[in-house]
Amino acid sequence: MAQDKKNFLVLALVIGIVVLLGVLAFIFLVNPALNGLVVQGQTQGYNYAILTIAQQVATCKPVPLTIGNQTINLIAVECLQQTAK
């Protein structure tokens, strides 16, 4: 009977240590890798948005850019200089 309790306590302790090691591995290994992927995706999205806006502005047509309740029409300076000549 005492041996069964001892075996149970040892097994519970081993399982607890394994779970704790798994949590620590996630916190210190997996989570930073996931955060790095998220930041990389955000950077790619930002770069794609800027590139798309620049390509649309280069067509010499006003490009509406809405931020909150305010809309700004963007147009390339070169396009304005061409129409002034």
Q: Which two structure tokens, joined as six digits, stand for 16?
A: 């607890």
Residues 11 and 19 sit within 8 Å (Cβ to Cβ): no
Torsion angle in degrees (nearest 10) through CA of 30, 33, 39, 40 = -140
pLDDT computed for residue 55 by the predictor: 93
pLDDT computed for residue 31 by the predictor: 84
- Cα 53 to Cα 55: distance, rounded to the nearest angstrom: 5
Residue pLDDT, tens place only, 11-28: 999 999 999 999 998 888
pTM of the model as a whole? 0.59
Residue pLDDT, tens place only, 44-66: 999 999 999 999 998 989 999 99
Question: What is the band of 84 on the pLDDT scale with cuts at 50, 70, 90?
Answer: low
- Cα 48 to Cα 17: distance, rounded to the nearest angstrom: 45
- Cα 48 to Cα 76: distance, rounded to the nearest angstrom: 18
Give me the residue label for tokens 């002034």: 84
